Chains A and B, each alone.
Chain A
Amino acid sequence: MTALLRRHPLLPLGVLFGAFLLLAPTFTGRGTQNDLWNMAFFVVLAAAWNLLGGFAGQVSLGYSAFVGIGAYTTVLLSKAGWSPWLTLPVGAALAVAFSVAVGLPTFRLRGPYFTIATIGVGEAVRVIASGLEFTGGSSGLRMPAGTFDFLANYYAMVGLALATLVLVAWLTQHAFGLALEAIRQDIDGAEALGVHSTQVKLQAHAISSALVALAGGLFATNFQYISPGSVFDFRLSLTIVLMPIIGGMGTLTGPVLGAMLFSILQIKLLASPALRDSYLFIYGGLLIVVMLFEPRGIMGLLERLWTRLVRRQVPAVAESPGAG
């Protein structure tokens, strides 16, 4: 237990927060619950993406494709008579298949080349979805009547968010996490040490795509209407990447902080007419400031502050003589 706490000092906070989320419907209004749902949704997307993007350093800008796959699978199967809950694993399975199909050719690419390829894939999927008849084309699709149940959806989304965090934490604590880290730092070195980098990347991609697709399916049930513009959008892909980056890539708490900040910002900005016209300034400015001053995001900032504080408290600690 103490070992767990030492490794994750913020765990008690996390547990409290999780409890808050689970109990929230008993004492908050629908507006707040909507906001919390949004936050949970973003937490899933950010934390799942972070597995491949933050820990393994493979930045994909095409994750909206998985949101869309989950959403469309849920709507199409629900319209065919399935219970929306049963459609979720199907969506996840399809997302995994797609992630492998995309990953096999593209994981050969390094760094920004991989990123560009994922942009291409994401956009191609959007265009195809807008063109196909059975996906409703650009008109989008509606869930059949009677499938809306906010409370159940809320608990499912919060549960998914917590499960995602636990899963990512567990995965990254073991050999898998070390492999991801090794790939991020030096892929050739990792290979030399026996890490099957492509296999590991594919696994990370598959797991994260499944989680994102589950979130997409819940999204479809919550909003009852989806269209290529809402789920296959490039801006969604960028948002998914933005959150872990601002919060801190490659950390467990980073994506959560990023998701929280992002959803709070969304709410505050849109609700106030004064800020409404400048929201692009604010987003853009935030991005610029973070990238310039603390690319490791909020977690990086906190870490810097923490080290400064620790240094201050223990001034007698000298630099180890042999280091450097």
Chain B
Amino acid sequence: MNRIPSLALLVGLGVGLTARAQDEIRIGAVLPVTGKESKIGGAYKQATELAVKEANDAGGVQVGGKKMKVNLALLDDTSDAAKSAQLVEQLITQNKSHAIIGGYGSHLVQAQSVVPDRYGVPYLSGGAGATAIYGRSKWVFGTLSPVEHLAETQMAFLDDLVKQGKLKTPLTIALVTENTEHGNDYAKGVNDFIKAHPGYKVVVQEKFELNTTDYHPLLQRVAEVKADLFLADSHLEDFIAMHRTYTQMGLHHQMLTHGARGSDAAARKALGPATDYIFASGWWSDLLPYPQVKEFSGRYKSATGTEPQWYHAMAYETTRALLAAISKAGSLEPEKIRAALAGLRLEKSIVPGQVLSFTKTGQCDLPFVVTQNKPGGKVDLVWPKDSKTGDPVAPIPPPK
């Protein structure tokens, strides 16, 4: 085979570069900083960069005998799945990243997750809860617990309210989900729970497209069946538009949720008191009564000026977990990092349960929290019961 002379030069350069660059940890990240997922993608960027900065400010990460600085190469996939996968490949082949932090959004992470296996590079995503992604490759890890369990946690919470006598079975459910993998998983979680627990019945199940222009047709169907509970899963914009229509139509259910939405400050700003009593379930809440959570929130706020939401916290903790695994591995070799991730037990973590670890499939399976909005802009953590900051109100008082 004819080798071009410049190849030798390149190899020489490469060897030289790698020799020098063995003193730093190269992490690659591909996030949707612009495009459809830009809002949370941007938040992930901020949190990831902060975690790296904190590690570097502390002198670096201890790997084997020395402290190494972290070199973060963060690229924007503009919320495009094909681009996302190729950028991950680029970071692995050209940037020679030792590990990759995955993106945000199930379809983006799905596309990315086929790449790590080809090269044997550890990949940790803090931005996708879809179960279909994990278990296929030993190199792929995820810190977001399955979305089905989010739904099942909400159902368990409701079931507990029944046991307390606040709600009475039989209860009918209107189940409305966004037409995405997240929404599909949510619906599956609800249906799985119902199969195992009598007393609940889904009387209307509908999907809606992202950015639907008119929610009246959908909510008209919901209104007709006069269900007891309204369970929805949506993005922030759709939640706002739908809940506005919901309130205007004078609809009312004993309990109402939009999956992980509802307790955000942005939702309060857009909907005012109409968000009262909405309950939401998520991967993290700043109300968790652990000292490390308070300390993290304070630190995050003073460093960035933003109050951390769940996505900031999970992105931050994902980066921290990866760096901890690299330190634990004591080496930059991919298989060692991978093994360290697989067996990681990150104590005093800010996640619910305080310990971050991965299951056999590479995905975390941590407890979810349930929060409920209270009048006056207050939010209470109502589940798990041992961490609660206030009592749940059920059923929701009818509108005046």
Contact = CB atoms under 8 A, between A and B. Distances in A.
Direct A–B contact in complex, judged by CB atoms less than 8 Å apart: yes
Interface of A: 26-27, 29-31, 34, 38, 127, 130-131, 137-140, 142, 145, 148, 150, 219, 223-225, 227, 229-230, 266, 270-271, 273, 276-277, 279-280
A31 B90 contact: yes
A227 B78 CA distance: 16
Nearest to A30: B93
Given A145-B136, A270-B75, 4 more contacts: A29-B94, A142-B114, A142-B132, A273-B75
B3 interface: yes
B380 interface: no
Interface stretch (B80-88, B165-173, B230-238, B361-369): B80-88
Given A139-B132, A148-B118, A230 B111 contact: yes
Contact of B93 (A31, A270, A277): A31
B110 interface: yes
Interface string B12-45: 0000000000000000000001100000000000
Contacts of A26: 1-2
Nearest to A278: B34
The A interface, classified by DSSP as helix, strand, loop or mixed, is helix
A230 B81 contact: yes
Contacts of A137: 179, 184
Contact of A276 (B76, B86, B132): B76
B90 A229 contact: no
Contact of A31 (B77, B89, B179): B89
| 8 A-B pairs closest in CB distance | A139-B181, A224-B114, A230-B81, A31-B93, A31-B94, A30-B93, A138-B179, A276-B76
A138 B181 contact: yes
23 contacts: A27-B3, A30-B93, A31-B89, A31-B94, A34-B90, A38-B86, A137-B179, A137-B184, A138-B181, A138-B183, A139-B184, A140-B110, A148-B114, A223-B85, A224-B114, A225-B85, A225-B110, A227-B107, A230-B80, A266-B83, A270-B75, A277-B33, A277-B76
Contacts of B181: 138-140
A230 B107 contact: yes
B196 interface: no
Given A138-B179, A266-B83, A30 B89 contact: yes
Contacts of A150: 118
A225 B93 CA distance: 21
A271 B86 contact: no
Given A130-B179, A140-B107, A277-B34, A29 B93 contact: yes
B4 interface: yes
Contacts of A127: 209
A171 B89 CA distance: 38
Contact of B111 (A27, A31, A139, A223): A223
A38 B82 CA distance: 10
A130 B209 contact: yes
A266 B78 CA distance: 11
Contact of B114 (A31, A38, A225, A279): A225
B89 to A, nearest CB: 6
B180 interface: yes
B398 to A, nearest CB: 35
B391 to A, nearest CB: 37
B79 to A, nearest CB: 9
Given A26-B1, A27-B3, A148-B118, A229 B81 contact: yes
A223 B179 contact: no
A59 B80 CA distance: 25
Interface in B93-133: 93-94, 106-107, 110-111, 113-114, 118, 130, 132
B33 A276 contact: yes
Contact of B180 (A138, A219, A271): A138
Nearest to A145: B136
Contacts of A277: 33-34, 76
Contacts of B2: 26-27
A239 to B, nearest CB: 10
A141 to B, nearest CB: 10
Interface string B159-197: 000000000000000000001110110000000000000
